[in-house]
Structure 1
Amino acid sequence: MNWIINRDENWYLGGESGSGKSVLLTAIADKDKKTEIQVNVLNKSKLKPVCLYISQWYQFKNLEGVANFYYQQRYNKQQLKDTLTVGQELALYGKENQLDFTELDQILIALNFSSFKDAQLIELSSGEHKKLQLIKAIWLKPQLLLLDQPYTGLDINSRTNLNILLDYLASQGVRFVIACSEHELPKCINKYACIENGQIKELNGVLPVVRTIPLITKVPSFLQQTPKPNADVMVKMVNVNISYGDKQVIKNLNWEVKAGEKWLLQGHNGSGKSTLLSLVNGDHPQSYANELYLFGSKRGSGESIWDIKSHIGLISPELHWYFDKEASVWQSIASGFFDSVGLFNNLGYHKTQQVNELLDYFGLTEDKNELLVNLSLGKQRLALLARTLIKNPELLVLDEPCQGLDEQQTAHFNQLIDGICSTERTLIYVSHNQQQLPQKLTHRLVLNQGEVIENSTYNLEKELA
């Protein structure tokens, strides 16, 4: 590969999921380079003489310096004092890098993050973690900033404001490479390229991804058999309230999801979507203190968390982040039968065939024995989407399911969701992107600061029109 980034250029970098975008950006930023990559910085500049890479995931540690977190930890108030607060994290970062603290408040306001200063890092959702990554990068003002999927998990307003901030940084001399599948880029982007077969291909503009491998469109046979709903009302919440100390994240919420309904759940970052879904999934301990009904039974009436999860197929950014990446692709998918993080049971013939069908559908057959951690994030997400579907659940809870996927993979997955969402299967789908939704959504719930501001029927075609 040959690539030259000149000092007056800001690049968009595209390509299929797994084409090597993250690998390339990591190599450019790697301080212990073993490749012939040269990054030249100006010593006489107001900008930091560094090349900074912002990865797709935000990595943080607890107060003991380790990152051994578990999926439900952010909902357990007994565990919330295990990490720094956002304010403490930013204070340390600013001190280490000798940054101007008067600039920080402006960045926090622009990304609507001022109210999170006292929040523990473990409390933040994936979108909020992404904002914290971006705030630190913008505050630092490096000479070269490499952004890997910077819009992932951000609400519409935050995406718009991020582009404004990036344009401002560009006017100050910061240069960018932005790897993403978005088309609404900052105005400062003036060069376009994609990675094809391990090579840089310069483009005239942002173009759709053209895949070289045909995707299977036939719905796997076992998913064509819609499971019978266990109850007429799958989820019912009556005046639900969730608080952490003085902070109330869900306020007097009423919501009913009937069998066969397909809900779009939306709201800005920090509006309470993840907390609401944790009640549906049985993961939130405060569900026992509220009037909550799941699959026809009141929460706390003798059912176990495994009874609840047996009805649900779940994917979320947090589940992906905490998942056992040392499991193989095959084991990761098969673990969905048992709602475990990793596979600890043997499968019979029919369940094995179901795993193989989904491997074929998602194009993962050749990767089935690879460790999940060794795959691109896009392929990791495909494996976990297959895990979500493997037991053919009556309720699908899909929280930003297409994060990390390219446009073709996103369309492929949503086509499958439309194909299996008959009149009896129930769906809760979370996405900030109106252009990346399945067609069969019937209702929408919108949250703002933990309160319902819209509960209505929904038609995607009318919305886009």
Structure 2
Amino acid sequence: MFDLILSIQEATILFKAQQAFQNLNFQWEKGQNWAIIGDSGWELTAFIETLRGNTVLSSGKIERPFSKSYVEEKTNAGEVNSFRDLIAYVSQKYVFKNRSHIQNFYFQQRFNSSESEETVTVREYLLEVDPKLPGPWTIQKVSELLNLEPLMEESLLKLSNGESRRLAIGLGLMRQPKVYLMDQPMTGLDVKSREEFGEILKVISDHGVLVLITTSGNEIPDGISHIARISKNGVLKSWEKKDFHGTQIEPLNVPTWDWELLKSLLPEKQEKVDESVVKLKNVTIKYEDHTILDKLNWEIQPGERWLLKGRNGAGKSTLLSLLIGENPQAYSQDFWLFGRKRGTGESIWDVKRPTGFVAPELSRYFPANQTCRKVILSGLFDTMGLFKKVSPEQEALAEEWMKLFELTPLKDTVIQRVSLEHQRWTLLARALIKQPKLLILDEASQGMDEFQRKLFKETVQQICEQSDITLIYVSHYTEDVPDAVDKMMELSGS
């Protein structure tokens, strides 16, 4: 028992007023780094929140010997303390705030160089951490390990999704933790970054930090020593890394939607027109001395389905910001959308109307009162939230989309309070409700569990088969790309 870090015994656990686990038993010993896998992303998050003490233990016992000496020392000194002082945590829902510590950004700010100054820089953000204990992690060591050095003076709003993920990991290290918990930490990382993540884990572990991550069964990084598969009935099986093979996990039984209902909600196929959907000629985007896109040429014809690839930071988000009308530099470029050159008198709404867009970070930018129903209806007006009265026909249309994606029970729940998978389906319904000609999906299934990712892939495939929609699909995972996607644009970055 001397080497015991944490112990869960015969536990029944409630998470967000629902029973997450019964008969949960788990032992974490010194020298072990765990990967927790399972079929439900909600259950994986519930497991990590249990370790953090953020669930309800209705029966059983949880012990945390790793914090015993620290708690006793602080208690005897009359200081406020918690075992949480020794834990670092990376969530899938990382939120950045402005210099006034208010989360009041709007989506376009990412691409407006002057307004991005309202956010702190990467360096300032890391220096804000006030650890409870001294430790080995300096800002220099963290920046070197996570390749943050080139980003230190960047505004947080300028970071790509993968760069934000690396910063979140670095922020946790600055807390000088004994235990580091990470919920799906490789989500949003490109292939090279996922390969490097195992080396990062090894360095963290070599500094005496014990690591536990949630991940998928086919994505166990180096640096992990033990694997456990969980379900609502507890730990189904555990392995040492050397004995684990992803093929031991039985195939998932993927749920499905009412495809006939989906077909009825999509526009009927039309005769193809000759004009391009997108045409970029020698497009160059710079921020000060930093070139993001350099003389990029790309033409997309109606009905084509493209995969947009590129490492983290290669310029994918900047390119997409041009296509969805959010980047002010579009007006100075030779750039055409739906046969019309940008900067020829069109309004921002003219640009947005034919395009549906989904990205995982979008849910952060809706006002706090926006329910799933309001978010879906806002797609009809291309606004980040619903601010006007809708017609009975529009209301009925939103009801049909919620029925399709089984969101009806959540219609009056604020989007930030629903699970990541429900957020993704809500955003997809928002993009599709206006029957767009162009659909842009930027890592749109990020944060979903394996069941839901497979269902998302099949949903996009069905959309392509049942309509003549033009598609731009962004993903770092080849297994998530629908078969309908048969063209590719790869950005190399500057």
TM-score (normalizing by structure 1): 0.86
CA distance in 2, matches of 1:104, 1:140: 11
RCO greater where, 1 or 2, for CA within 8 Å and sep 6 or more?
A: 1
2:486 aligned residue: 442
1:189 aligned residue: 224
CA distance in 2, matches of 1:194, 1:341: 38
CA distance in 1, matches of 2:126, 2:196: 20
2:328 maps to 1:306: no
- TM-superposed deviation, 1:11: 2.6
CA distance in 2, matches of 1:135, 1:374: 26
1:6 aligned residue: 28
Unaligned runs of 5+ in 2: 1-11, 13-23, 71-83
2:192 maps to 1:157: yes
2:420 aligned residue: 377
Q: Which moved more, 1:339-348 or 1:270-279?
A: 339-348
1:426 aligned residue: 470
Distance 1:351 1:20, change over 3 A: same
- TM-superposed deviation, 1:421: 1.6
1:54 aligned residue: 90
1:454 aligned residue: none
- SS of the aligned residue for 2:201 comes to helix
Alignment match of 1:259 (pick from 302, 310, 326): 302
2:166 aligned residue: 131
2:49 maps to amino acid: T
- TM-superposed deviation, 1:184: 1.9
Equivalent residues in 2 for 1:312-391 (5 A)? 312-324=355-367, 326-391=369-434
Distance 1:230 1:359, change over 3 A: farther
Alignment match of 1:280 (pick from 317, 323, 329): 323
Please tell me whether the aligned partners of residues 209 and 408 of structure 1 are also in contact (alpha carbons under 8 angstroms). Answer: no
2:108 aligned residue: 72
CA distance in 2, matches of 1:337, 1:215: 23
CA distance in 1, matches of 2:212, 2:230: 13
Please tell me whether the aligned partners of residues 414 and 437 of structure 1 are also in contact (alpha carbons under 8 angstroms). Answer: yes
2:45 aligned residue: 22
Alignment match of 1:41 (pick from 66, 73, 84): 66
Please tell me whether the aligned partners of residues 112 and 158 of structure 1 are also in contact (alpha carbons under 8 angstroms). Answer: no
Please tell me whether the aligned partners of residues 228 and 394 of structure 1 are also in contact (alpha carbons under 8 angstroms). Answer: no
- SS of the aligned residue for 1:344 comes to coil
Please tell me whether the aligned partners of residues 40 and 449 of structure 2 are also in contact (alpha carbons under 8 angstroms). Answer: yes
CA distance in 2, matches of 1:363, 1:216: 10
CA distance in 2, matches of 1:212, 1:198: 20
- SS of the aligned residue for 1:391 comes to coil
- SS of the aligned residue for 2:478 comes to coil
Alignment match of 1:122 (pick from 154, 157, 165): 157
- SS of the aligned residue for 1:264 comes to strand
2:285 maps to 1:242: yes
CA distance in 1, matches of 2:257, 2:395: 21
CA distance in 2, matches of 1:63, 1:435: 40
Please tell me whether the aligned partners of residues 141 and 169 of structure 1 are also in contact (alpha carbons under 8 angstroms). Answer: no
Q: Which moved more, 1:326-335 or 1:273-282?
A: 326-335
Please tell me whether the aligned partners of residues 86 and 119 of structure 1 are also in contact (alpha carbons under 8 angstroms). Answer: yes
Identical amino acids, percent of aligned pairs: 34
Equivalent residues in 2 for 1:144-183 (5 A)? 144-181=179-216, 183=218
2:199 maps to amino acid: I
CA distance in 2, matches of 1:217, 1:179: 32
Q: Which moved more, 1:168-177 or 1:60-69?
A: 168-177
CA distance in 2, matches of 1:419, 1:300: 35
1:201-251 CA distances to partner (integer Å, 9 max, x unpaired)?
Answer: 445556367469664444341226246667620111112121221222121
CA distance in 2, matches of 1:158, 1:22: 23
Distance 1:224 1:414, change over 3 A: farther
- TM-superposed deviation, 1:97: 6.5
Distance 1:214 1:194, change over 3 A: farther
- SS of the aligned residue for 1:271 comes to coil
- SS of the aligned residue for 2:477 comes to coil
Distance 1:198 1:382, change over 3 A: farther
1:244-269 CA distances to partner (integer Å, 9 max, x unpaired)?
Answer: 21222121111111111111111111
CA distance in 1, matches of 2:488, 2:225: 38
CA distance in 2, matches of 1:88, 1:67: 17
1:359-388 CA distances to partner (integer Å, 9 max, x unpaired)?
Answer: 233222322232222211221122112212
CA distance in 2, matches of 1:203, 1:232: 57
- TM-superposed deviation, 1:98: 4.8
2:473 maps to amino acid: Y
CA distance in 2, matches of 1:94, 1:244: 32
Please tell me whether the aligned partners of residues 235 and 293 of structure 1 are also in contact (alpha carbons under 8 angstroms). Answer: yes
2:66 maps to amino acid: V
- TM-superposed deviation, 1:322: 1.6
